[in-house]
Structure formats: C-alpha cells, structure tokens
Structure 1
Amino acid sequence: MDILVFGHSGQVATELRMLATDKLRITTLDRAAADLTDAAACAAAISKHAPDAVINAAAYTAVDRAEEDEATARLINADAPAAMAQACADRGIPFVTISTDYVFAGDGDTPWQPHDPTGPMGAYGRTKLAGEQAVAAAGGTWAVLRTSWVVSAHGNNFVKTMLRLGAERDMLTVVDDQIGGPTGAAEIALACVTIAQKLVTAPELSGLYHFAGAPDTSWADFARGIFEKSGIECEVTGIPSRDYPTPATRPLNSRMDCSKTTASFGIKRPDWRTSLDEILAQLAQSDAT
C-alpha cells in the first residue's frame, strides 16, 4: 500500500516515516514539496503521487499565535485539508486527517463524544473545526481523528519541556484544572495507518473519531509522572489556569470518549504511561549517541 503523508518533521509525521516497510510505502511531504498555504498545490501533490490513501499530519498548531494570525491558520487547517479531501474524493481513495479537542467548548467533566456539539473557544479550534467540516463535505471516504496532548521524543512538546525545566529547577508550578489524555505520536501514527487501511475496504466507516491516551489526568499530574519515571527530583505545585494566562484560552475538559474508534477499528486507548516509558527510552538512547 502506498500512503502519501502531508507533513515530514512534525511529531506524527516523523512517527509515520518510521512505520514504512516494503509492503507499506510511506511518502512524506515537507513544506518544499507541498506548501500548506496553497490549497491547489496540495491537491496537485496528490495527483502527482497517485497514492492508495492520504494522511494529513500537518497543521498550524501554534495555538497562541493563531489568535493574531487566524488567516494563515485557516489556510493550513481548513483550506488545505479541504483541497486534499476533494482530491482524494475525486480519486476514490481514503483521506485521514488529524484534528483536536479544541473544537469543543472545554466545559463540564464528561468525555466528549464525536458528535457532541462543538464550540471552539479560539482561533486554532475554529480553523480546525472548519477543516473538519470541509473534509466531511467533500463527500469521499474520510476520517477525522481528533486527539489531544500529543507527545513524543521529537519536536517540541510537554514531555521535553518538563525534562528541561525539571533539570534546571527544584520546583515548578503547573496547571492542575485542565484534564485530558496525553497521547503518544507513535500511537497516533499507527492509528492513522490502521484507519486508512480499513477505509479502503470499508468506506462506510467514514466519519469523526476520537483517540487519546488513558487514563485522563491533569497537566500537573502528568508532569509528576514524567519526573517520577525520569528520576528527576522536582516538586510540582498545581495552580489554576487563571494563574497562568495565555493569549488563547485552553479547554479545562479535554476528556475524549474513544469507544467509537475501538468499535470501528479495534484501536484501544493507549496507556500514556507506557508511551512515556518509550519516549524516555528514545531520548536516553539519543543522548547516548
């Protein structure tokens, strides 16, 4: 199977490259090969490569910056996947794109189900929701995989930030009223491939899906878990989100009901503690080389 991936050096795209085998050929496109601010160029790339399926692992993820640059975020998060989805629909091939819990209002404490009412609180969520809606409207075979709190041994993410700060300080304050599921990029990549492969023979499974790590936790407790597993002695004091203001409002409730994903594709919620073990092992290995 030939899968074309938009994205190359991001967390999920990096993990997708690592899944390639003789039978699973994965081609990733960096910015030079596919300008995500040019929707027509994205569609042209699909026509050029003629893959069996497409995964969009690229996005404008600078949540705070999007508040001042929503136009660019919309080009990348909405217009580009819209063109990709239409190109895939025209070719009759599956299209899988990654979205976010930020499409919801972030209130309450009940896990979000795929068809719950949306209500993004900021520009990032609005542009990702617009992308979801455009993908569905293209009318092809598609899946939107919403996820949360993505971490890996690559790029910039919470795990790497905590390891750096924990090595520098004896105490950190971390918000403890935002609850969600940390999710390994490796697990997201494998889920995307599994879904794309299944959609080839079961296009009727097209739709919205959730995928997040378990168990749900707070950022503060996640930080404590990182320090415990890495052997770093750093005390974590939990604080409310109001004491750590940011340009974009973060959702307090990022819990996601992933039962539909399990029922449709046999993909279970990964344990983030196991994912964290693997991430720390990868970082240790890279430090040793």
Structure 2
Amino acid sequence: MSRILITGINGQLGFELKRSLAMLGECICLNRQQLDLSRPADIAAALDRTQPDIIVNPAAYTAVDKAETDAVLANAVNAAAPAAMADWAAAKNALLLHYSTDYVFDGDKADAYLEDDAVNPQSVYGMSKYQGEQAIRASGADHIILRTSWVLGAHGGNFLKTIMRLARERDSLNVVADQIGAPTPAALIADVTAHIIKQWQTSQDKTLLGTYHLTSSGSTSWHGYTAYLLALAERYGVALQLKPENLHAIPGSAYPTPAKRPGNSRLNCSKIQGAFGLIMPTWQSGVEQVFQQIFNS
C-alpha cells in the first residue's frame, strides 16, 4: 500500500485531496503547522520521518498581490519548498505531484495555452510558481505538474464566495469582463489527481510523467461568471440585494491591482484528456455543484 503525503490540507484543494485520495493508500495529511513550507530547510527531515512513496503538494503562497511586496516568502513556499520535495523524491524514488498556475503565462495569447507554450510570468507569484516547476524538472524526480486556474470550492476562500457576499451587501457591482478563464472546482482537480495516481500505481508508466493542464471545459470572464452566479441564485431561491441589471462590465484597466492579471487564463486540456482517458466537465456544471454545496446544505 502506498504512503501518500498531502501538504496544505486546510486549503481548498488540500481539503478535497484528503477525500479523493483516502482509498488509494495510507494518507499522511499535514497542515501548515506540521509542515511549514516557508522553511524549506526543514522539509527533508519531515519527509524522512514520514517516508512517503507519493508526495502531493497543493500547498502554495497564493496571495497574488501581497506577493509583490513579499517575494521572499512567496519564493520560499512556491519555489524553494517544491525544490526540496523534488530533491528528496529523486533520492528516494518517490513520485511528486505538484500544482502550478496559469500565471506562468503572460495571458497575451489568443487561444488556450498548451503545456509547451513559452512561459512569461508577469508577477512575483507567477515567477515563483514557474521557478518551482523548473526546480522540480531539474531534480530528476519522477513528477507530474498540474497547471490549473480559477479554482473554487465549498471549503476555503474564492471568487464565488466573495461575489455572493458582495451581491448580498450591494445593489450595484462592477466586475472585470476582459479576463477570460475556466472556473475549476477543487473537487474536480482532486478527483483527477486520484485518477492519475491510480494509473501510476498500476502501471509505473514513466510516459505519464510531465506537465499537464487541468481546468473545466469552456471559458467565461469574471463578469460572465458573476452573471451565472446571479442566475443560479435566482434558480435556487437565494435572496440577493444585487439585481442582474445592476451588474456592470468593466475593463481590467479600471480595476488596477499590484500584480498584473493574465488577460487569457485559458489552458488547453487535450493532453491530460488523451493521456488519462478523461473528458472535462463544463465550468457551469462545476460552479453549480459548488453553489449547491454552499447554499443548499
């Protein structure tokens, strides 16, 4: 039976991984207090104590704007910590499954990004995540890197929860309409992760290793996402102060942030679907499932 170590189990993805991986082996679930990725020098000792066969690392520094003035911490968690995990995995012949982001790209491409498209991070966060990817590749460890974007879930903070709070408090709302992506449930990422690990456990097929994109299918803007949430609220009888006619589309330039956001966050998922025999559900179905979890529970 595999020993599977999961980092960051109190985050929205870690929470779902604890569920999805439970049947695949002995899961060692660590929170930030038990494995602090801001101290990369301590990671090898923690891995020596637990001796995992598979390391699953959803833990990350994700405060995109704060990272612009906190680069040391962002780089420790997003670059140095994965590097330490990868070095340990290479030495012990373990598998490292790590998560990355659309922010490694500049967002200027017209189409959805492929795995081998040129990276060009535009923020400290994006660069730190890319450096983490590169360290893993350079380590020689067996690894799978899953790039995802626009993650949502019933557990933890995310855009859906923020918008629904604002829609209850305000009678007018401006939302960016020129940034495009696919809202992707943490539960979907966790379920696909379990599917991948199961195939790896069965086959140890090294052709499965590498970098993949993983999001829901289809795409929308933050404004379109918000409009869909308002429609769901009406369908499920969730009372809001905000009316759809008072939701206004604005350009990203009207809402400046310390870290530049990619205009295009769409990730092409053909590679992962082909390699693992998957069909990604629509972003709408995923958002509706999470909405129901939160508001119909």
TM interval, short-chain normalised: over 0.9
The amino acid across from 1:234 in the alignment is K
Counterparts of 2:25 and 2:289, CA distance in 1: 23
Shift of 1:20: 4.5
Partner residue, 2:225: 222
60-69 or 2-11: bigger deviation: 2-11
Assess, with a 3 A threshold, how the Cα gap between structure 1 residues 22 and 207 changes in structure 2: closer, same or farther: closer
Indicate conservation of the 8 Å contact 1:141/1:199, yes or no. no
Indicate conservation of the 8 Å contact 1:4/1:28, yes or no. yes
Assess, with a 3 A threshold, how the Cα gap between structure 1 residues 115 and 22 changes in structure 2: closer, same or farther: closer
Counterparts of 1:234 and 1:90, CA distance in 2: 57
Partner residue, 2:125: 124
The amino acid across from 2:147 in the alignment is R
Question: What TM-score, normalized to structure 2?
Answer: 0.92
Counterparts of 1:82 and 1:195, CA distance in 2: 22
1:6-25, aligned counterparts within 5 Å?
6-25=7-26
Partner residue, 1:140: 141
Counterparts of 2:102 and 2:291, CA distance in 1: 25
Partner residue, 1:72: 73
- What is the SS of the residue equivalent to 1:12? helix
Counterparts of 2:156 and 2:30, CA distance in 1: 17
259-268 or 53-62: bigger deviation: 259-268
Instruction: Say if 2:243 is the partner of 1:260.
Output: no
Question: Any stretches of 5+ residues in structure 1 without a counterpart?
Answer: none
Instruction: Say if 2:277 is the partner of 1:271.
Output: no
Assess, with a 3 A threshold, how the Cα gap between structure 1 residues 198 and 281 changes in structure 2: closer, same or farther: same
Instruction: Say if 2:88 is the partner of 1:52.
Output: no
Indicate conservation of the 8 Å contact 2:183/2:287, yes or no. no
Deviations, residues 69-104 of structure 1 (Å, cap 9, x unaligned): 111100000000011111112111211100000000
Assess, with a 3 A threshold, how the Cα gap between structure 1 residues 77 and 237 changes in structure 2: closer, same or farther: same
Deviations, residues 32-54 of structure 1 (Å, cap 9, x unaligned): 11110122322222222122211
**Count of paired positions:** 286
Counterparts of 1:221 and 1:28, CA distance in 2: 36
Shift of 1:147: 0.3
Partner residue, 1:196: 197
- What is the SS of the residue equivalent to 2:97? strand
Shift of 1:271: 1.5
Percentage identity across aligned positions? 41
Partner residue, 1:234: 243
Counterparts of 1:24 and 1:224, CA distance in 2: 41
Partner residue, 2:237: none
Shift of 1:285: 4.4
The amino acid across from 1:252 in the alignment is G
Partner residue, 2:261: 250
* Coordinate RMSD, CA, aligned: 1.4
Counterparts of 2:19 and 2:88, CA distance in 1: 26
Indicate conservation of the 8 Å contact 1:94/1:199, yes or no. no
Deviations, residues 146-196 of structure 1 (Å, cap 9, x unaligned): 000000111110000111111112221100000011100001112222223
Counterparts of 1:249 and 1:151, CA distance in 2: 20
Counterparts of 1:40 and 1:145, CA distance in 2: 24
88-97 or 112-121: bigger deviation: 88-97
The amino acid across from 2:250 in the alignment is I
Indicate conservation of the 8 Å contact 1:149/1:181, yes or no. yes
- What is the SS of the residue equivalent to 1:107? coil
Shift of 1:23: 4.6
1:158-169, aligned counterparts within 5 Å?
158-169=159-170
Counterparts of 1:36 and 1:21, CA distance in 2: 23
Counterparts of 2:243 and 2:162, CA distance in 1: 13
Indicate conservation of the 8 Å contact 1:102/1:125, yes or no. yes
Shift of 1:28: 1.6
Question: Any stretches of 5+ residues in structure 2 without a counterpart?
Answer: 235-239
